[in-house]
C-alpha cells in the first residue's frame, strides 16, 4: 500500500468551528489532492497541489483552504464548518504529470458537522 | 469543465455472469481513462486504465474499451466472483486532474 496517512479518521464538530484535516505521505510524490465523497455525487476535487507552496482550486473549493509547506504534508482547512461539509474526505497522491497517472488514495476522514 | 456520466448506478448480476459499466465524457481532448474500485470503508484503488491511443485493454477478468469518436468507455468484468462486489468509478483526466463518475454499486448475487 502507498504510504498515505490521513488524520483524524473520524471527527464530529459543531457548525462554525474550524477544522483541519491532515494528509501525510512517505512516497515523495509531487502531486497531492483532496477529494470529498458524497452519496449521489461520487468523488469531487476540492484542491490539489503540484509542489511545495503550489496549490490550485478544484471543482468544489468554496469554504476550503489548503496548505503545503512540506512535500509530505497537505492540510485541508475548513475555516468555519457548515453542515453541508459533512462528508468523507479522501487525500490522494500521484507521481504522474497532469497528463495522467495512478492516484493512490488514503483511507478517508469522516467528518460530521452538527 | 469535464462532464462524466456513469451508468448504471447499481448493477446486480449472478455470480459467474459478466458485468458491464459505461461512462461518457464531454472533452474530446481527454486522453487518459482509469477505473477505480472502492471496497467498503476504504479508499478507491486503480484496477485498470486506458490511454487514447488504444481501443481495448485486458487484465485477466477485467477489460476496458474506449470509443474516442463517441466519447465513451466501458468496464467489462467476466466470470464475476463475490470479491468483485464493490463500488466502481470511471474517471477522465482533465487539465486539473481526474474527474470521476458518480459510481456504480456492483452486487454479485450467489
- Residues of B whose CB is below 8 A from A103: 34, 36, 44, 46, 98
Among candidates A56, A100, A108 on the partner chain, residue whose Cβ is nearest the Cβ of B96: A56
Which range among B56-65, B82-91, B93-102 shows the weakest confidence by mean pLDDT? B93-102
Count Cα atoms within 13 angstroms, Cβ side, for A51. Answer: 3
- Residues of B whose CB is below 8 A from A90: 43-44
CA distance B88 to chain A (A): 10
Taking only the tens place, the pLDDT of each residue in A32-60 is 999 999 988 899 999 999 999 999 999 89
Q: How confident is the model at residue A23 (pLDDT cuts 50, 70, 90)?
A: very high
Q: Which residues contact A2 (CB under 8 A, 6 or more apart)?
A: A25, A27, A93, A104
Q: Does the distance separating the beta carbons of B44 and A90 come in below 8 Å?
A: yes
Q: What's the whole-number average pLDDT of chain A? A: 93
Average pLDDT over residues A67-81: 97
Q: How far apart are CA B103 and CA A91, in angstroms?
A: 18
Secondary structure (H, E, C), A47-103: EEEEECCEEEECCCCCCCEEEEEECCEEEEEECCCCHHHCEEEEEEEECCCCCCCCC
Q: How confident is the model at residue A84 (pLDDT cuts 50, 70, 90)?
A: very high
By C-alpha distance, which of A73, A75, A89, A93 is closest to A24? A73
Burial, A6: exposed, middle or buried (Cβ in 10 Å; 0-12, 13-18, 19+)? buried
Residue in chain A closest to B35 (alpha carbons) equals: A102
Q: Does the distance separating the beta carbons of B6 and A100 come in below 8 Å?
A: no
pLDDT: is B62 or B93 the higher one?
Answer: B62
pLDDT at A99: 56
Q: What's the whole-number average pLDDT of chain B? A: 94
Q: Is B54 on the interface with A (CB under 8 A)?
A: no
Q: Count contacts between A and B (CB, < 8 Å).
A: 59
pLDDT at A1: 57
Q: Does the distance separating the beta carbons of B42 and A108 come in below 8 Å?
A: yes
Taking only the tens place, the pLDDT of each residue in B8-42 is 999 999 999 999 999 999 988 889 999 999 999 99
Q: Does the distance separating the beta carbons of B45 and A98 come in below 8 Å?
A: no
Q: How far apart are CA A82 and CA B51, in angstroms?
A: 39
Q: List b or e across A31-42, with b for residues whose CB sees 16 or more CB atoms inside 10 angstroms.
A: bbbbbbbeeeeb
Q: Does the distance separating the beta carbons of B101 and A40 come in below 8 Å?
A: no
Q: Does the distance separating the beta carbons of A105 and B89 come in below 8 Å?
A: no
Average pLDDT over residues A1-18: 93
Average pLDDT over residues A71-89: 97
pLDDT at B52: 83
- Chain A residues with CB within 8 Å of chain B CB: 33, 35, 40-45, 48, 56, 58-59, 90, 92, 98-100, 102-103, 105-108
Amino acid at each position: 500500500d502507498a504510504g498515505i496517512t490521513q488524520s483524524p479518521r473520524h471527527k464530529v464538530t459543531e457548525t462554525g468551528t474550524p477544522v483541519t484535516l491532515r494528509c501525510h505521505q512517505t512516497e515523495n510524490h509531487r502531486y497531492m489532492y483532496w477529494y470529498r465523497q458524497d452519496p449521489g455525487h461520487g468523488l469531487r476535487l476540492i484542491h490539489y497541489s503540484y509542489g511545495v507552496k503550489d496549490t490550485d482550486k478544484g471543482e468544489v473549493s468554496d469554504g476550503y483552504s489548503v496548505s503545503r509547506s512540506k512535500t509530505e504534508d497537505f492540510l485541508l482547512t475548513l475555516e468555519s464548518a457548515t453542515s453541508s461539509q459533512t462528508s468523507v474526505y479522501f487525500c490522494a497522491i500521484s507521481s504522474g504529470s497532469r497528463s495522467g497517472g495512478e492516484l493512490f488514495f488514503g483511507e478517508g476522514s469522516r467528518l460530521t458537522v452538527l | 469543465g469535464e462532464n462524466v456520466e456513469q451508468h448504471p448506478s447499481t448493477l446486480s448480476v449472478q455470480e459467474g455472469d459478466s458485468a458491464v459499466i459505461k461512462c461518457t465524457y464531454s472533452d474530446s481532448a481527454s486522453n487518459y481513462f482509469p477505473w477505480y474500485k472502492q471496497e467498503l470503508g476504504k479508499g478507491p484503488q486503480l484496477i485498470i486504465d486506458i490511454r487514447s491511443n488504444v481501443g481495448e485493454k485486458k487484465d485477466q477478468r477485467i477489460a476496458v474499451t474506449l470509443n474516442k469518436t463517441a466519447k465513451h468507455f466501458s468496464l467489462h468484468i467476466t466470470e464475476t466472483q463475490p470479491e468483485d462486489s464493490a463500488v466502481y468509478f470511471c474517471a477522465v483526466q482533465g487539465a486539473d486532474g481526474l474527474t470521476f463518475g458518480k459510481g456504480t454499486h456492483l452486487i454479485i448475487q450467489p
